[in-house]
Each structure stands twice: as C-alpha cells, then as structure tokens.
Amino acid sequence: MRVYKFYPAKWGLEALSKRRLKVSPIDELNDPFEYLSLDLGEKSVRAWAKEFRKIVTEDNGIISFSSNWSQPLMWAHYADSHKGVALGFEIPERLLFKIDYVENRIKPTMDVDHSRASMKILVQKLLRTKHSEWSYEKEFRLVRPLKNCIREGNNFFTDFNETTPLKEVILGARYQTSHAEQLSSELKSEGISFQTARAEFKGFRMTTQKSAGLQKQL
C-alpha cells in the first residue's frame, strides 16, 4: 500500500540523507486525546483508561502516514505550508493501523470487565480511533517498539528497509531548491521517483506538475 509522510524541507532532507524515519512516542503526539477516545464519564472508566494509556505509551512509538498526498491541508500543516516534501513508501497493509474517525467517544459495553473478547474489541477500537475533525489526514499508523529503534538523545528513529521501502519523493508547490544534487542523484539511482506538486486548475486539491520546465529540484 502506498502511504505518505509529510515533512518540512529541513527534516525531509535529513530523513532522505540518513534513510530513516522519526518514530514518535505516543505522549508526544499533537492530539491530547490519543488513545483516550473512550467516554470517561464514569470514574471507574477514567481509572482504567489512565492505566491502559500508560501501558500502551511507555513502550511503543508510531509513524503516522497518510494515504493521500493531494490533500492541501496536509501540506499546510505538516510540510511547512507547501514548502516541504512528501515521501511515499510502499508498506504491506497488514502492518498498518487504519484510523477510524468518529463523532462521539466510545462507550464500553456492559460486559467489558468480564469478557476477554469484549476487552480485546475495545482495545482495538481505542488504538484505531480519533475524532472526525482529523479525518482529512486519512491516517495509517505503523507501530514500532521503542526498544527496537535507534535512539539519539530523546528522539527515536527507524531505518528505511525492505519492508518499508521509499518509492517516491514529492516536492511541495512552494519548495525551494536546496541544491542537494548528489543526494538526488543517489536516490534516483536507487529507483526513487521524483515529482512536483501544484494546485489544481479547476479544483481544490494538489496534483502532479506535468510541465517539464516547472519541475522543482531537490
């Protein structure tokens, strides 16, 4: 499955030059409701949810991708207002968590404390659920145990590999050439394709710039 990671230019170039992706500990994600999509009206549920989130977050990190690079909000929010890049990876769908977007928080079933099956269903829902206002992201997640990641200070990384190979680089509509000719040449020799994004002429999405003279360079 082709999925995309958006970066400001500086961090996108670093990811490309070092052939690696940043893994985000769950506590550092930009949504305070991460893994807390449960209805917390009951005090007992709040206690359970707090413990659940602690267990999930302390050992795992995630890499967030989008299934769609043409969404202009993704470029605006995650690629420095279209001045960054989107990196396209081919990842087996079985390795990815597809995020479900909902209007209301999840209510646990009455038997959740006594049924392992119900508890398993609830946990899976919590791992995959965000509020509908995030739906423009069309998010898929790759979970990585932090113990298996490369650690530099407080940051975690995982290398590009055969399971998650980089396939394409899309330069934003406002990308400014960084004169990384050697890196560009190396990537092209590895079979990585390049394209430039532009705004549609008739719609409100981003699309591929087909004019050879308007192609941007890494």
Per residue in 136-177, pLDDT tens?
999 999 989 999 999 999 899 999 999 999 999 999 999 999
Which of 31-40, 59-68, 76-85 has the highest mean predicted lDDT (pLDDT)? 76-85
pTM of the model: 0.87
Report CA-CA distances (Å) from 153 to 28, 142, 165: 15, 22, 26
In this model, does residue 24 exceed pLDDT 60? yes
Helix (H) or strand (E) holding 99: none
Query: What is the pLDDT at residue 26?
Result: 73
Sequence spans of domains, the chain: 2-214
Please determine, for residue 99, whether its predicted confidence score (pLDDT) is greater than 70.
yes
Contact 218, 180 (CB under 8 A): yes
What is the mean predicted confidence (pLDDT) over 196-203?
A: 97
Buried b (16+ CB within 10 A) or exposed e, 170-193: bbbbebeeeebeeebeebeeeebe
Angstrom distance (rounded) from CA 17 to CA 31:
29
Beta bridge partners of 150: 157
Q: Which residue has the tokens 């070092």?
A: 18
The predicted pLDDT at position 218 comes to 95
Q: How confident is the model at residue 60 (pLDDT cuts 50, 70, 90)?
A: confident
Does residue 78 have a pLDDT over 60? yes
Radius of gyration (Cα) for the chain, nearest Å?
19
Report percent pLDDT > 70 for the chain: 79
Would you state the structure tokens that stand for residue 162, as one six-digit string? 């055969």
pLDDT at 82 over 60: yes
